[in-house]
Structure 1
Amino acid sequence: MENVSAKGVLGHLSFLEAQSKQKKTGAQPQSREQELKTKVEELKKERDRLRAEIDVHKNLQKLRTSLDNNEDVEMDDDSENTKLLILMAKQTQLKDVLLAHHLMGGYDAIKTNQDKSLCFSLATAYQGAILDTYNIEISVSQPLRIIRHNIPPFIPVKALAEETNVQKNIRGFLDTLSLHLNAFAARKQQVKLVKERHPSVEVLETNALCSLLVLMLTEPQTNTALLCSLEYLDHTRSLPTRVSVQCEETDLSSSPQWQKNKALLQDTPVHEALLIMRKTGHIN
């Protein structure tokens, strides 16, 4: 057992001696040199990659400028790489539009006048029906300025811009403007539905803003004519703020049932309220 142990120790010493000689002959410096060469190659590859990335960004910027200005895209060749660059440019353009759409609270916006202004589209709808769409172009240079729009003249665009401080809160301005437009569209649509669905009801008067509606109703039991006036003093709402009913029979217009009908007209879209009144036998 002692001989085996001695041989094991001697073997270990021989290994250490050989390892020491290997270090002295310069094997380690050769390994370090190879490591540095590898590092240099890796840095060269990274340099080439960065240069290629810079070239791609330059070409993308060139393409984006052409696309934003609605110019024809001109490239040096028609290779697959060029086609890919064009697709990437269109993708980044779409992302910018979607970002603007998100930042502006969901309003569709496109760049115009060489990126100096934005044109916003404000769609209107009522009870699931898509109605008119209006557009407003705003200069993005300071101070912000409304360049043009196709919004009806009876909606005070400039006054709303001042009230909402469009210079600091463009989204607030668009929200308020959209509220006015959708309320107007809803009132206008209600008048249309009254004419279509209630031929026995006569529309005597309305105005461009649809903030006033005068109807002639007929009570079926006595065949009495009633003059019903609906006033929409809050132009951001589609329901009237005041309803009045007049007729020669004072007792009829002031009766409890017609007081309920007045409340119904004030709390329900007019075409729906008239349908309820007709079904319950209060009008023809």
Structure 2
Amino acid sequence: MEGPPASSRQGVLSHLENLEAHAHKAGLKQGETREHQENAVRLKMRIQELRCQRDELRAKLNMCRSQLARSKNTTKSGPQTSQATETSKQALLEWKMENVKGLLRVFHLTGLSGKLTKQGACLCISTAFEGTYLDSYYLDLLLQQPVRIQHHSVPAFIPLEQIAQKYLQADIKRFCSVLSDHLNAFAGRKFQADQLQEGFAAFLEGPLQGNSLYNLLEFNYSLEGEGRTFLFTAKLVYGDPVRILPTEATVTCKETDDAPAAVSEIAAAHMAFFREKPLHEAFSSIIDLTANLSQAVSLASQPPPSL
């Protein structure tokens, strides 16, 4: 039997290009929408941070004025000076406690909550992905000089020590915000990998390979087309530790020797999906693209109706 005529093959390739262009535009649009939403959330959090900083500055100014007024009214005697110093320390500690109370109120709507303890505060950072609540992590802070982390349940592969060294003493709000970004990104990447394995196990060839941080994933998957089964390998690299989408995506077909030329174009479309959508959503789009392509090939291979 002769294969489909050249015009039919041209029609299939043209249909494939249209599908890829449509998928790429849809992915870009969704990416822009998600980016706008993320920017809006960041701006709201920034507004809250600035308001807290304003309140802190007012509290510091009032405390300095109070200390200055007390120092003018005290004598130079040793016991009185010592008492004034103790009063100043107590005022500083009370200001820190009030600052933490304000933090707990501000962060309650952003996935952070907690309560005051006798020695400081216990913070809870809750993670979520697209409306699905995931794991929670806890930190016990000692409000002393310097502020210390007494206990925590943060995974070892999250750079907690580096984040604490950079922000904990200078800006505790920033410390909580950055740590929350790291934990939410990790939880989001893990959630996507779990959804892929649970929802698309029939297409996966072998287990998904990755590290504890889920910032490097590799897996094989098979798709049927043109009466054959093609095996693809995907490698995703998440170069930004606070992002849920990969910064690099590579897709290759293992059967390239006798594979149709269109397979390389299909792999390129897969890479675009992986870069622009969450992992399980990208794979769903890949399956839809494959189904549409198979339907187009089937229609093109049918003989023309007789007149």
Relative to the length of structure 1, the TM-score reads 0.60
Q: What's the secondary structure of 2:290's corresponding residue?
A: coil
Contact 1:217-1:226 within 8 A present in 2 as well = yes
Q: CA deviation at 1:260?
A: 2.2
CA distance in 2, matches of 1:179, 1:193: 21
**Greater RCO, CA 8 A, separation 6+:** 2
Of 207, 230, 234, 2:240 maps to 234
For structure 1, the 5+ residue unaligned runs are 1-94
5+ residue gaps in structure 2?
A: 1-97, 295-307
- Percent identity over paired residues: 30
Alpha-carbon offset, residue 246 of structure 1:
2.1
Matched, 1:146 2:149: yes
Selected match of 1:194 from 196, 211, 223:
196
Say if 2:133 is the partner of 1:130. yes
CA distance in 2, matches of 1:172, 1:100: 11
Q: Which amino acid aligns with 2:282?
A: A
Equivalence map 1:38-57=2 (5 Å): none
In the aligned structure 1, how far is the partner of 2:262 from the partner of 2:169? Answer: 50
The one-letter code sitting in structure 2 at the alignment partner of 1:219 is L
Contact 1:97–1:110 at 8 Å: present in 2 too? no
Tell me the C-alpha RMSD between the 2 structures: 2.5
Aligned residues between the structures: 187
User: Which segments of structure 1 move beyond 3 Å, counting only runs of 4 or more?
Assistant: 95-100, 103-106, 248-254
Query: What residue number does 1:275 align with?
Result: 284
Distance 1:214 1:154, change over 3 A: same
Kept in 1, the 8 Å contact 2:210–2:217? The answer is yes
Q: Quick one: distance in 1 between partners of 2:189 and 2:126?
A: 15
Question: Which structure dedicates a bigger proportion of its chain to helix?
Answer: 2
Q: What is the distance in 2 between the residues matched to 1:167 and 1:140? A: 10
CA distance in 1, matches of 2:218, 2:254: 17
Q: Note closer, same or farther for the CA distance 1:247–1:111 as it changes in structure 2 (3 Å cut).
A: same
In the alignment, structure 1 residue 207 sits paired with structure 2 residue 211:
yes
Aligned residue in 2 for 1:255: 264
- Once the two structures are TM-superposed, the CA of residue 160 in structure 1 deviates from its matched residue by 1.0
Structure having the higher Rg: 1
Classify 1:117/1:243 alpha carbon distance in 2 versus 1 (closer, same or farther; 3 Å).
same
Query: 1:224, CA displacement in angstroms?
Result: 1.7
1:49-105 C-alpha deviation (Å, 9 max, x unpaired) = xxxxxxxxxxxxxxxxxxxxxxxxxxxxxxxxxxxxxxxxxxxxxx99864422557
| Equivalent of 1:217 in 206, 217, 221 | 221
